[in-house]
Structure 1
Amino acid sequence: MQIVEAAITTIADVGCHKASFAKIAERAGLSSTSRISYHFAGRDDLIREVVGEVLSMIGGFVGERMAAASGPADALGLYIRATVAFIAGHRQEMKALLEIFLAGGFRYDAENEAQVVSPLEGILQQGQQEGAFRPFDTRVMATLIQRAVDGLPFMLAADPDLDTGSFADEVAATFDRATRA
């Protein structure tokens, strides 16, 4: 949707607090904010839609790349590399998400945590059942892996020229060694 895309780029460019409906309407090429108000009950509604859109994009991107996994160890490496590739290739979206998070517009709770970490936990549990991974607490390991890739947007904010391919390789190698049987 044109409004959501405009909101993403506006938030990424000026920050969440300064991303007014007027600035978003201007970016979307709208003559007034009335079209935004027609589609969204308010600012919080639009912010929720932006967060939902970006999270949906991440899920689709990573899911497509993981479909080719040949086993749990491969799935883990693909998950890490795909997540890093999304972050590297969608910097505006990630910057907007980061801005929203830092502004308190995205409330990360236990339910969100479970949704984010449970696919990784599933990969790790399968790997343990198949003997590919050593025994460890899958919730702790899944959280460590997720936090490692979640930190990349912060690193890119500080160093936009960071070699994300090397980052992905290092994180994947680290967790390959950490999980391997």
Structure 2
Amino acid sequence: MRPESKPDRQMSFIEEARRAQIVASAIEVLASVGFAKASLAAIAKHAGISKGVISYHFAGKDELMEEIVTQIYTKIAEQVIARLEGQDTAVGMLRTYILSVAEHMRDHRTQLLALGEIFHNLRDAEGKPRYGAHTNEELYQGIEHIYRFGQSTGEFRDFDLRVMAITHSSAIDAMFAYWAVTPDHDLDAHARGLADFFERAAAK
């Protein structure tokens, strides 16, 4: 271990902690007042820091919004992957995927609301939505992997994997969209219903 490397590691830890603080505050502000009012100044005020601190860590609001999406989706993926460990059937993988995603978002409603604000409002340089079906390729491929495995084991019938993946992803998105505006809705029951639906839809 080189003594001269310690300050770099310490600074990296401090910077990571500050970025995490900014992201957490941005999520809260987005969920509370919406995308249009979630200015860097408002986020800085919520975090108890200056706007300049945010500008030091992020090039602008767009980059901060993208970091929020990346962090939230990374956490979801980590939970899903952890839950999938030990699953040796396609049916088990399918049900676990749907239920674990719902489980994660049930405990992170504020994140869901923030994602909704970003997805509906963030635009690229050409004014087109930054996120949507055109950015879902990795997600679709992950879902296809489960259904492809089921077809290979004989658990699932033959069908178009891409059609099923898009339908599967869209159903989960719709579940969360409904829960976002109807907080008393039973998210877990909805997820179980979706798991039942797709299990039967794919069954041989």
Matched to 2:47, the amino acid is A
Q: How far off its partner does 1:104 sit?
A: 2.9
Matched residues in 2 for 1:99 and 1:109: separation?
A: 13
Q: How far off its partner does 1:68 sit?
A: 2.7
Matched residues in 2 for 1:94 and 1:17: separation?
A: 17
Aligned to 1:85: 103
Aligned to 1:141: 164
In the alignment, is the contact (CA less than 8 A) between 1:3 and 1:28 conserved in 2?
yes
Tell me the alpha carbon deviations over residues 102-128 of structure 1, each in whole angstroms, 9 at most, x when there is no partner. Answer: 113462356522111111101101110
Tell me the alpha carbon deviations over residues 134-170 of structure 1, each in whole angstroms, 9 at most, x when there is no partner. Answer: 1111111111111111112211122101111110110
Aligned to 2:46: 27
Matched residues in 2 for 1:49 and 1:142: separation?
A: 25
Structure 1 residue runs without a partner (length 5+): none
After TM superposition, the score normalised by the length of structure 1 is 0.94
Matched to 2:135, the amino acid is N
Structure 2 residue runs without a partner (length 5+): 1-19, 124-128
Aligned to 1:75: 93
Matched residues in 1 for 2:26 and 2:99: separation?
A: 27
Q: How far off its partner does 1:70 sit?
A: 2.2
Would you say how many aligned residue pairs link Structure 1 and Structure 2?
180
In the alignment, is the contact (CA less than 8 A) between 2:102 and 2:191 conserved in 1?
yes
Higher relative contact order (CA 8 A, sep 6+): 1
Matched to 1:172, the amino acid is A
Q: Name the % identity.
A: 38
In the alignment, is the contact (CA less than 8 A) between 1:87 and 1:152 conserved in 2?
no
For residue 57 of structure 1, the aligned residue among 60, 66, 75 is 75
Matched to 1:21, the amino acid is L
After TM superposition, the score normalised by the length of structure 2 is 0.84
Matched to 1:135, the amino acid is D
CA RMSD across the alignment: 1.4
